[in-house]
């Protein structure tokens, strides 16, 4: 299995290329750059998977800050986006390892919950379930079943519902 570590400044170009190749799009690499250049960026939660043989970056996951409610004072949580693995390394468990390590580190840092938009078939294994179940409104044009949330601590979403204030970079999706 690869080594999972926080990204370094010298990784930004390689991350951009891995994300572009994984999504076959420039949208997601732009999202990474936008988050990285914002107050929502958490360096400890922008993780890369390094090949154990040559230390090349073969995967990346980013967790960034978001708020519940429309103000900057609402409860703080995380959004997982994007998760990318180099196409030649997909199916090896690299993405799962990135998510598990990221969720563990987010918990250690004191975050209570994470939301994401992605395939439930993949994300259920990490404890994600429909975010609507917690009273959150889907802010994007994605199927409601792909809008998911997970509690990092017991009752981590208790008393929270409504709108989520995503980092500005998400407005360009």
> What is the distance between the alpha carbons of residues 166 and 22, in angstroms, rounded to a whole number?
23
pLDDT at 72: 73
Using pLDDT thresholds of 50, 70 and 90, give the confidence band for residue 173.
Answer: confident
pLDDT at 69: 82
Using pLDDT thresholds of 50, 70 and 90, give the confidence band for residue 167.
Answer: very high
Domain count, the chain: 1
Whether 71 has a pLDDT exceeding 70, the answer reads: no
CATH number at residue 25: 3.40.630.30
**Selection from 32, 39, 37 nearest residue 15 by Cα:** 32
Whether 89 has a pLDDT exceeding 70, the answer reads: yes
Report pTM.
0.95
In three-state secondary structure terms, 42 is coil
- Among 94-103, 105-114, 150-159, the range scoring the smallest mean pLDDT is 150-159
Domain that holds residue 164: 3-172
């Amino acid at each position: 299995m690869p080594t999972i570590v926080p990204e370094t400044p010298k990784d930004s170009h390689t991350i951009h290329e891995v994300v572009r190749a994984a999504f076959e799009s420039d949208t997601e690499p732009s999202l990474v750059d936008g988050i990285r250049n914002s107050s929502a960026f958490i360096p400890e939660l922008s993780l890369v998977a390094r090949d154990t043989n040559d230390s090349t970056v073969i995967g990346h996951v980013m967790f960034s800050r978001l708020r519940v409610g429309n103000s900057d004072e609402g409860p703080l949580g995380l959004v997982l986006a994007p998760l990318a693995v180099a196409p030649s390394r997909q199916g090896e468990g690299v993405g799962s390892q990135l998510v598990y390590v990221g969720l563990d580190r987010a918990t250690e840092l004191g975050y209570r919950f994470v939301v994401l938009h992605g395939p439930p078939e993949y994300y259920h294994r990490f404890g994600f379930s429909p975010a609507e179940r917690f009273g959150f409104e889907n802010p994007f044009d994605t199927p409601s079943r792909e809008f998911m949330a997970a509690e990092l601590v017991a009752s981590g979403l208790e008393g929270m519902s409504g709108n989520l204030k995503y980092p500005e970079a998400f407005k360009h999706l």
